[in-house]
Amino acid sequence: MRKKNQEYFYLLPKEELAMKVLWDTKDALSASEIADRIPNRDWPATSIQSILRNLEKKNAIRVDAITKLGKAYGRLFRPTLSANEYAAMQFGRYYQNGKPDYASMVSSLFGNTSANKEEILEALREIIKTYDKKE
């Protein structure tokens, strides 16, 4: 989903709420659908338009289609990267100027999980297989 050379960006809290809605569905959604699906939203639904404009500028979302919504036409949006890709982008920014300590990173990520050790080892084996095939 993510473009190879996509620039780093940071999501503001309201932008992240909108992105979580998009990440949680396979369907392209309209602005009003996104606003309606944000849990415990305490700001006006009309604010979603400026939030979506900002997300478009950051290349976090794209217009998937233009369709008739009620009496007017509206845009349907999709994310351009997954939640995991965004998390990796945020994590990776700490290592732009230095060499990452991969062992420490993986250990930290898996150290905060309730998964059993065999599940973690199997996941790591699958990752290694994927990287071995790319070379």
Reported confidence tier of residue 127, pLDDT bands at 50, 70, 90:
confident
CB atoms within 10 A of CB 123: 12
Q: What is the mean pLDDT of residues 19-46?
A: 95
pLDDT for the residue numbered 44:
92
DSSP state of 7: P
Cα atoms in the 13 Å half-sphere on the side-chain side of 41: 20
CB atoms within 10 A of CB 17: 20
Global pTM value: 0.74
C-alpha 23/C-alpha 6 separation (Å) is 18
**Per residue in 34-64, pLDDT tens?**
999 999 999 998 999 999 999 999 999 999 9
User: Among residues 21, 23, 41, which one has the least CA distance to residue 33?
Assistant: 21
**Per residue in 111-124, pLDDT tens?**
666 667 788 788 88
What is the total residue count of the chain? 135
